[in-house]
Amino acid sequence: LELLGQLPCLCTHHAAGAVLAEVWEPWLAAAWGTAWFSSLIQSLATGRLRASRVLLVGMKGLGAEVAKNLILAGVKGLTMLDHQQVSQEDTRAQFLIPVGSLGRNRAEASLERAQNLNPMVDVKADPESVENKPEEFFTQFDAVCLTCCSRDVMVKIDQICHKNSIKFFTGDVFGYHGYMFANLGEHEFVEEKTKVTKVSPGVEDGPDTKKAKLDSSETTMVKKRVVFCQLKEALAVDWSSEKAKAALKRTTPDYFLLQVLLKFRTDKGRDPLPQSYAEDSKLLLQIRSDVLDSLGVSMDLLPDDFISYCFSEMAPVCAVVGGVLGQEVVKALSQRDPPHNNFFFFDGIKGNGIVECLGPK
């Protein structure tokens, strides 16, 4: 299987490429879509995942969920990077940190339990700040996943990843709300489709035949390609155009809530805290007015009561968003199944999630 996976590269880079291509391309065309080839694709996807190294930034509740999912999925290596110390709030949703770890570095405190999840994965802890890392640091990874980062840091690292063809993800949980964003650049993947049996013109099938076709489990693998935009573009949608105004009616309010919370994080250097609810609530309402006004959208998109549902991290919301985020990283690395392009928003009050594609059209 490893040799078969390398054949396209051999065809490109070796002197015998022309000869190999003559053999490989007709064979590939004949084998594509067969059950044997589907099994081959699955094996190659698993191999890609097991050869991948992932950087995970931010080890709060969401980071712990993502780490758990990636380690159990069996990536080659996971580096947990966080320069912050364990706080009392971390104990509510961060299950990788043992009791009695207050004051320790969050990444280092999470290391032992994370490693015990799967001894076959090389799990590391890095106590430095992601803001101090040079561009070369990120190039050792196949995917980078950010949590707890400021808007400027996310945009900067997304640009680094885009430039170096590294899969980029970011996500956060704010109370009952959570989101994830992905930028996979130009991403190719294969999708399993149920085969449809062709019927000769003029031939009608009886009820039994039609039922048999519906029950058929024969599938084929379809290769697809999708292009993602960068985070900076996705956060800078121009809502003044007529096309954007029409799309605004279908856009989840959580996108605008995210803009408000990222602005709060930039201004205060932290997220809204329960212990400073009164002060932070007033600031959130002011930021809401400023942000929505600058975007040219109505204040009705975010009623005043939004401030009651965006404080702290809630463990159930971390579990949902962390499950989706971990799944998307696995799909991107293995190149199996269609990815979410490009936002996923979860509303814990309504209990629903939605995928939105936002950015330049």
Q: Radius of gyration (Cα) for the chain, nearest Å? A: 23
For 49-186+314-356, which CATH superfamily applies?
NAD(P)-binding Rossmann-like Domain (3.40.50.720)
Q: What is the pairing mode between strands 53-57 and 219-227?
A: unpaired
Count Cα atoms within 13 angstroms, Cβ side, for 274. 9
Distance, CA of 132 to CA of 82 (rounded, Å): 12
Whether the per-residue pLDDT at 105 is higher than 60: the answer is yes
Q: Cβ neighbours of residue 184 under 8 Å, at least 6 residues apart?
A: 167, 168, 226, 228, 332, 339, 341
Contact assessment for residue 118 and residue 67, using Cβ atoms and an 8 Å cutoff: no
Task: Decide if pLDDT at 31 tops 70.
Answer: no
pLDDT over threshold 50, residue 13: no
pLDDT at 29: 52
Confidence of residue 217 (pLDDT cuts 50, 70, 90): low
Asked if 348 and 176 count as a contact pair (C-beta separation under 8 A), the reply is yes
Mean pLDDT throughout 89-115? 95
The whole-number pLDDT of residue 353 equals 97
| Distance between CA atoms of residues 36 and 177, nearest Å | 43
Assess whether pLDDT exceeds 90 at residue 323: yes
Residue 35 pLDDT > 80:
no
Determine what percent of the chain is predicted with pLDDT higher than 90: 71
CA dihedral 172, 270, 360, 349 (to 10 degrees): 40
Exposed, middle or buried by CB within 10 Å (0-12, 13-18, 19+), for 314? buried
Asked whether the beta carbons of 92 and 274 are under 8 A apart, the reply is no
The arithmetic mean of pLDDT across residues 52-58, rounded, is 98
- Residue 56 · residue 67 · CB < 8 Å: yes
Which of 206-215, 230-239, 269-278, 346-355 is the least confident region? 206-215
Average pLDDT, the chain: 86
Instruction: Provide the pLDDT confidence category of residue 192 given band limits of 50, 70 and 90.
Output: confident
Which is more confidently placed, 332 or 206?
Answer: 332
CA dihedral 36, 39, 40, 42 (to 10 degrees): 160
Which amino acid is present at 113?
R
Query: What is the number of other CB atoms lying within 10 angstroms of the CB of residue 195?
Result: 12
pLDDT at 277 over 90: yes
Task: Report the alpha-carbon distance of residue 259 to residue 180 in Å, rounded.
Answer: 13
pLDDT of residue 241: 80
Q: In Å, how far from its chain's centre is CA 84?
A: 23
pLDDT in tens, 63-89: 999 999 999 999 999 999 999 999 998
Quick one: what percent of the chain has pLDDT higher than 70? 81
Please report which confidence band the pLDDT of residue 20 belongs to, taking 50, 70 and 90 as the band edges. Answer: very low
What secondary structure letter does DSSP report for 241?
S
Res 221 pLDDT > 70: yes
Domain boundaries, the chain: 49-186+314-356, 187-226, 236-309
- In Å, how far are 50, 111, 136, 143 from 71, measured between CA atoms? 10, 12, 24, 14
pLDDT at 201 over 70: no
Higher pLDDT, 40 or 60: 60
Is residue 65 within 8 Å of residue 323, measured between CB atoms? yes
b vs e for 259-286, b when ≥16 Cβ sit within 10 Å of the residue's Cβ?
bbbbbbbeeeeebbeeeeeeebbebbbe
